[in-house]
Amino acid sequence: MLNKLRIRADLHTHTVASTHAYSTVSEMAAAAAQTGLQLLGITDHGPGSPDSPHVWHFHNYKILPRIINGVYLLKGVEANIMDEFGTLDMDEYELSFCEWVIASYHTACVHFERTPELISQGYRKVCENPLVDVIGHPTTAMFPFDYEPVLKLFKEAGKLVEINESSLQWKQGALENAKTVYALCKKHEIPIILNTDAHFAGQVGKTPVAIRLLQDLDFPARLIVNLDAGRIMDMAEKKRGISFSTLQQSPFGIENE
């Protein structure tokens, strides 16, 4: 039953390193522990955003512990897709410091005509980048694309399609687009990841609007990968060799409440 489920890993959050967000890593981790998360992804904006941290923010991730307040940390980035060719604002070297990479379009970072053709072309190119894990908030009204073929391509390329609570709550038109996008994900069995995109600790782990939407669509729980933190850890372990070896095996299951 989807209404009894909640995410166990929140893999899209911002800290004070992006100054339009308001909580520290420690505050975010404390909130994550409080809401019962097992894994927290810190993903401040890549350097293409006007409000991003310096790249040294990412270079120095090694000093952050793997666990804070009993919550495992993945140290990542929300990279910007800068153009219609899928160019990211961080190259392979910069991304090598990150353990989790979201690729998102933001209006502040792009200067091409935002037609569905060109946005789709950009997304297709992003699919060729092996370092990208997630396509961020693909429901933004300012970035329409050819939903069905491109969503199918995301699946083929192994990119998780995000459902983003903040977008649904705050961005005009996102909720309407979301009905189309996640109905197509259901139709084509495309795995999704449900994130808050929290910019304040109080938002961490809370996804009421997205859960309601997924319920309305009768969306299969098995396609929502972060209902089980272990699935994300497996991905990070396989792809980047990150070790969560001290982690207990239970309670990871989505049945545990």
Interface positions with Zn ion (CB under 5 A): 78, 104, 197
- Residue 104 CB, shortest distance to Zn ion, in Å, is 4
Smallest gap from Cβ 163 to Zn ion, in A, equals 13
CB 39 within 8 A of CB 11: yes
Indicate the residue among 78 and 228 with the shorter CB distance to Zn ion: 78
Query: Can you tell me whether residue 93 is helix, strand or coil?
Result: helix
Question: Whose Cβ is closer to Zn ion: residue 84's or residue 197's?
Answer: 197
Compute the least distance from the CB of residue 225 to Zn ion, in Å.
18
Q: Which is nearer to Zn ion, 136 or 230 (CB)?
A: 136
77-104 exposure pattern, b = at least 16 Cβ within 10 A, e = fewer: bbbbbbbbebebbbeeebbebbbbbbbb
Give Cβ neighbours of residue 198 (< 8 Å, ≥ 6 apart): 10, 12, 13, 14, 21, 23, 28, 166, 204, 205
DSSP annotation of 224: B
| Of residues 11, 13, 5, the one with CA closest to residue 160 | 11
Distance of closest approach, residue 222 Cβ to Zn ion, in angstroms = 26
Give min distance, CB of 168 to Zn ion, in A. Answer: 13
Q: Which is nearer to Zn ion, 52 or 121 (by Cβ)?
A: 52
Taking the least distance from each CB to Zn ion, the nearer of 78 and 84 is: 78
Cis status of the peptide bond prior to 144, with omega within 30 of 0: no
